[in-house]
Structure 1
Amino acid sequence: MVNTQAQKATKLALFNFKDVSIRTFWITAVSFFMCFFSWFGIVPFMPDVVKDLGLTPDQKWNSIILAVSGTVFARLLIGKLCDKYGPRLCYTFLLILGAIPVILLGLVQTPLQFLICRLFIGFIGASFVITQVHTSLMFAPNVVGTANATSAGWGNLGGGANRLGMPLIAAAVVSFGVAEAEAWRYSMVIAGVICFLMGIVYYFFTQDTPQGNFKDLKASGVKIEKKKDEVGFLAVLKDYRIWILFIVYAASFGIELTVYGTMDDYLQNTFQLERLTAGNVVLSFALMNIFARTLGGFFGDKFGKLKGLRGRVLFLSFILTLQGIMLVTFSLTTSIIVGIVFLILFSLSVQMAEGATFSVVPFINKKAIGSVSGIVGAGGNVGAFLAAFLLKSKSALAEKTAIAASQGLGEEAIKTAQSAASSAAVSQGYFMIGLVVIITGIIALAIKFSQADEKENTTKVTIDSDSELQGLKTIKVKS
């Protein structure tokens, strides 16, 4: 049913469940959480998987790279599909189809099967794009940055919560008599089933826009703002601002993914932390998504209110540059206390940079917001792939050299040398990546908006705010 009186929400009233925008916000955030929970769900069980399937070090690293590679193609495709069919149907099918490789991962018997499943599981990482498109369609310009950042941050939380949640699921499974060595398999199957069920919930309890679903709006002759990609996908690709944001998101979310995936070993090798302690530190890093990404979107909106669209870009450049400085400094620290301090500051700044990025994205091309979100979102995974490849190449070479130099000194000496070599190589890698992030922060300043864009944004905020206060069906702006 089409409701022509419905308007975009002008504030993030989290407990106003009567508002379709808020209901959709919660469902899309929970769906995103489950996608990331399942995407990285195998991480806590990797020692068990290596032992069970006999994975080599190269196969283990390749599985990490494949998990982020598949997402690149999925994000590029899903944005265009959102513009055409709407986020509701796209999320429904992504959740249902994405549940299949998650479930199959619990049934694999060979390293090849494991690698294939990790590749296809990466497709559910496209859930981020749909989340950003859906919240952009539900919230007004004055709060869209905060809404996008909060839904994305709480969704990203799933990538850290699995470190606590998956072992709890495994423990519950073991309590029913399942062998401990097989618990990781059942845990993945359970995660996949939950994703499938969320797909059903998404279909029946959300809609594409406050006015209704794309299909119903089209049938009623109602114009769907942002849905019709009038400029064409090729024209979208020609907008240089999209590619700057592509690089920016590679330097923020892509680096967060890589640092998150390599930090356990780095903390153990560099500061001699126990495996459990290192894991808890990384979990704390991920849990900062509860508020850090929201802060990025919030300040993006605030700077937008003060300085217009240019203000959003200025804040993005600042926080991204700060992120790079924090990572460079962290890479040089040898004290665990100082290291934790700068790791916290890096965590805060990188997640704020992600939120700030998607406080800019909705204003690049409002007629193709899905395509723009898909391209920028794919940048995150390209960044993760390149950063992981850099760290793998440096670490693998250093470890092989250390092992060769330590032959004949005993197993303990070889492990110590290998650990030290890996620590030094990854430290150098973090330093190089941090420098690239700083340069990217400066490049972000090249994003420009026309005076017409600035004026339209200001007028749109006024219209949406008046609509919220007065409940008008039609708003006329007098010149």
Structure 2
Amino acid sequence: MKNLSKKATSIDLLSFKTPQMKAFHLSWIAFFLCFFGWFGIAPLMAVVREELDLTKTQIGNIIISSVAVTIVARLFIGWLLDKIGPRITYTYLLILGAIPVMLIGLSSSYESFLLFRLAIGAIGAAFVVTQYHTSVMFASNIVGTANATSAGWGNLGGGVTQIVMPLFFAMFVSLGFLDFQAWRFAMVIPGVLMVICGILYYKHTTDFPDGNMKDLYKSDAAFRKEKEGSKGSFKKALKDVRVWALFLIYGACFGIELTINNIAAIYYHDYFSLNLKTAGLIAGLFGIMNLFARSTGGYFGDKAGIKWGLKGRVWLLGAVLFLEGISLLVFSQMTVLSLAIGSMIVFSLLVQMAEGATYSVVPFINKKAIGTVSGIVGAGGNVGAVMAGFLFRSENLSYPDILWILGIAVTVISFTALAIKFTVKEEESAATELDFITESKAVLEPSFEMEK
């Protein structure tokens, strides 16, 4: 229980002093900015579509490109995290990822825009780093809440960008720039912020509560033995059916969120005849729910784990995903604007709760390969988005038709939670960890504590 004793057992929101809280705050801020850069162009697509004369099929290809490369990136980053740790990984991802974000303005054709959109998609791997870092910093009684909150506040960038990027665009227009110039300059802003965050991440975080991976490997014999003993865990994770069940499940929640982030603004613009700013504002409501919705899923995942063990976390996940599917079916049939907005908000709540509940399970699948498992499951979200993207390429299907099909798919996939089972030994190990936390006078029930 040596390593466990160094993990935080509560979240002190106003603290920036401990390694755990530095990692918590900088990881969600980093993911927020990556999400901002990743989907910064989405609310401006109506302008880009007009300038580059894009067809519906081409927009579908752009949607696919924005999430397709993230599949490979998340798998690679998950493996890399287990090798070099989150600090260096995030630093490089933020700084290198900022380059295509700032340079997409050089696009002058569909082909060049598609290539830049593809390159930008790699920064979606930031999610895996965020989940890894909070997983190794927080104890089992609070890890689901920590994971869900850091990811949820990061995902918030997807909602904020829907609102803010049209404002940046309007600002440049008001300064005298033409539309085709304004969207290009607007994309430079998130890129610059990513570079700044990369520098701060390198300077102010550590890989683990007690130091960086490279230093610990040299100075801590127990840590070195643990790392050497984890060899082969990558292949073991690949063979675990639970990992692939979570892969599908995450595709049915985060994959759907990515899809809605890509099409929400243009959906409201086309189907409800709204202007760019209004459509972006309404689309932003979907992402803004991340402020608390994903945290709620992680929080209840932790509570279910405390009360019913690891199987309780899985039961909650399956139930929330099933309700997500039903709510998407309802949203797809809404033709009145007020009802469409209301049903979208309910749908958004359940989507993000399912994401939080997923990553309240992930840290318990294989503790020797948390990065690998996080990467595989995270990649599932992008696979789901890519599959949905192919539907949006169809000239024969309307957006409401596609959303209905996706609702059916999510409902069916919710039953794959039945394949996620834990052995008696794994359940006992999780219970022992909770007992240790209790005996150490830690906070047993997940909660947010304001530092006094």
Structure 2 length-normalised TM: 0.92
Q: 1:436 pairs with 384, 394, 409, which one?
A: 409
* Partner Cα separation in structure 1 for residue 166 and residue 273 of structure 2: 23
Which structure's CA Rg is the greater one?
Answer: 1
Match of 1:43 in 2: 42
Does residue 216 of the first structure (1) align with residue 225 of the second (2)?
no
- Go from structure 1 to structure 2 and tell me whether the alpha carbon gap of 1:21 and 1:101 turns closer, same or farther (over 3 Å shift): same
CA distance in 2, matches of 1:6, 1:364: 20
SS at match of 2:67: helix
Per-residue CA distance 1:323-374 (angstroms, 9 max, x = gap): 0111112223344443333222111101000000000000000000000000
Matches within 5 A, 1:49-60: 49-60=48-59
Distance 2:271 2:188 in 1: 35
Partner of 1:263: 264
Does the Cα contact within 8 Å between 1:5 and 1:211 map onto a contact in 2?
no
Which shows bigger deviation, 215-224 or 121-130?
215-224
2:427 to 454, 460, 473: 454
Aligned to 1:411: none
Conservation of the 8 A alpha-carbon contact between 1:10 and 1:465: no
Structure 1 unmatched runs, 5+: 399-424, 471-479
Counterpart of 2:392, as a letter, is L
Alignment of 1:41-190 (within 5 A): 41-174=40-173, 178-190=177-189
Match of residue 317 from structure 1: 318
Of all paired residues, the percent bearing the same amino acid is 50
1:344-423 matches, within 5 Å, as 344-393=345-394, 396-398=395-397
Deviation (angstroms), 1:57: 3.4
Q: In 2, are the aligned partners of 1:288 and 1:347 still within 8 Å (CA)?
A: yes
- SS of match in other structure, 2:12: coil
What do the CA deviations read for 1:420-463 (whole angstroms, capped 9, x no partner)?
Answer: xxxxx322222221112111112212210011111111111232
Moved more, 320-329 or 263-272: 263-272
Residue deviations 1:11-63, cap 9 Å, x none? Answer: 11111222211111000100000000000111122233233334343332211
Change (3 A) 1:272 1:48: closer
Other-structure match for 1:405: none
In 2, Cα distance between the equivalents of 1:34 and 1:170? Answer: 18
Please tell me whether the aligned partners of residues 86 and 132 of structure 2 are also in contact (alpha carbons under 8 angstroms).
yes
Q: What is the DSSP-based 3-state SS (H/G/I as helix, E as strand, rest coil) of the residue aligned with 2:106?
A: coil
Amino acid at match of 1:439: V
Residue in 1 aligned with 2:449? none
Task: Work out whether residues 46 and 266 of structure 2, in 8 Å CA contact, stay in contact via their aligned partners in 1.
Answer: no
What are the Cα deviations for residues 200-241 of structure 1, in whole angstroms up to 9, with x where unaligned?
A: 111110000101000010010343498553333222110000
Are the equivalent residues in 2 in contact too, given 1:231–1:367 (CA < 8 A)? no
In the TM superposition, what is the alpha-carbon distance from 1:168 to its structure 2 partner?
3.2
* CA separation of 1:439 and 1:337: change in aligned 2, threshold 3 A: same
Alpha-carbon distance, 1:74 to partner: 0.1
| Amino acid across the alignment from 2:283 | V
- 1:240 maps to 241
RMSD after superposition? 2.2
Change over 3 Å in CA distance of 1:52–1:341 after alignment to 2? closer
- The code of the aligned residue for 1:462 comes to D
Q: Contact conserved, 1:267 with 1:273, CA < 8 A, in 2?
A: yes
Deviates more, 1:436-445 or 1:371-380: 436-445
**Equivalent residue, structure 2, for 1:417:** none
8 Å contact from structure 1 (residues 9, 468) kept in 2: no
Aligned position for 2:192: 193
